[in-house]
Amino acid sequence: MAKQNTSTEELINLQNISFGYTKDKLILDNLNFKLKLSERIGLIGANGTGKTTLAFIILGLLTPQQGKVKLFGKICQTEKDFQQIRPKIGFVFQNADDQIIFPTVLEDVAFGPLNLGLSSEQALHKAENILKKLGIEHLKHRNIFNLSGGEKKLVSIAGVLAMSPKVLILDEPTIGLDEHSRAKLINILTKLDLSYFIISHDYDFLARTTQKQYILKNKTIFLDNTIVLHKHEHAHPLGYITHDHT
């Protein structure tokens, strides 16, 4: 069989999407967006411009008044369509509390793989590995509800990675993370063999983790208006001494 050219495979394709929470006010108007296999795209935009709304539309949690949502080459309209695709999409919510299911960290991270059919032993093993990778293994027996905001965020990212998604959508993944955790997340994301779409206000983070960055503005994404982010120097105590952030 001829080998498929997967480099142009579309994972997410939004066509002419218009959406409003109320009939009289559109949040998104005739928006187009594509994420292809191996692409890593960042999205910035002012507060309240509709970035999270856009992510919810991709996941089928909100239904656009107009337009098509095509995921992995299939037009998704009904809840059943989206249900079939959702396991392939790892979504990290802006608010980590929306993601928590089980009280303890290990159980919570193991829930996804368990749900995908792994034995409880395999699921726990996978969860421990991911926690180790993210440098938060020490939290495994902690009650999630007592964790700090940044710790919760890392646990929610671990939960999503544990499900071996085909594509990641991260909504403000760096909120609440300190410099060390943020650097670790950059390191992990860039080493992953995954396509992803990151919504963030953190320009430097996007410059380090994505190849292309779009802006959501005036209810749409300007695809031909890719902005150029660049890594920049930063300031902190004793920053003049040579150091690294690993």
Residues making contact with ligand ATP (CB under 6 A): 21, 27, 45, 47-53, 94
Task: Check binding of 95 to Mg ion (CB under 5 A).
Answer: no
Nearer to Mg ion, 52 or 226 (CB): 52
Least Å from the CB of residue 201 to ligand ATP: 7
Task: Give the 3-state secondary structure of residue 145.
Answer: helix
CA distance 58 to 117: 25
Nearer to Mg ion, 45 or 165 (CB): 45
129 CB neighbour count, 10 Å cutoff: 15
Per rule CB under 5 A, count of chain residues that contact Mg ion = 3
Least Å from the CB of residue 74 to ligand ATP: 25
Pick what 45 binds: ligand ATP, Mg ion, none; C-beta below 5 to 8 Å, kind-dependent.
ligand ATP
Of 38-57, binders to Mg ion (CB under 5 A) are: 51-52
CA distance 22 to 186: 37
Rounded to the nearest angstrom, the gap between the alpha carbon of residue 30 and the centroid of all alpha carbons in its chain is: 23
Nearer to ligand ATP, 108 or 172 (CB): 172
Least Å from the CB of residue 28 to Mg ion: 13
CA distance 104 to 60: 28
Least Å from the CB of residue 124 to ligand ATP: 34
Report the amino acid identity of residue 235: A
Least Å from the CB of residue 88 to ligand ATP: 23
Tokens 């001829």 correspond to: 2
Show the tokens assigned to 25: 């006010």
Nearer to ligand ATP, 21 or 145 (CB): 21
CA distance 175 to 93: 11
8 A C-beta contact, residue 9 and residue 164: no
Q: Which residues of this chain interact with Mg ion, rule CB under 5 A?
A: 51-52, 94
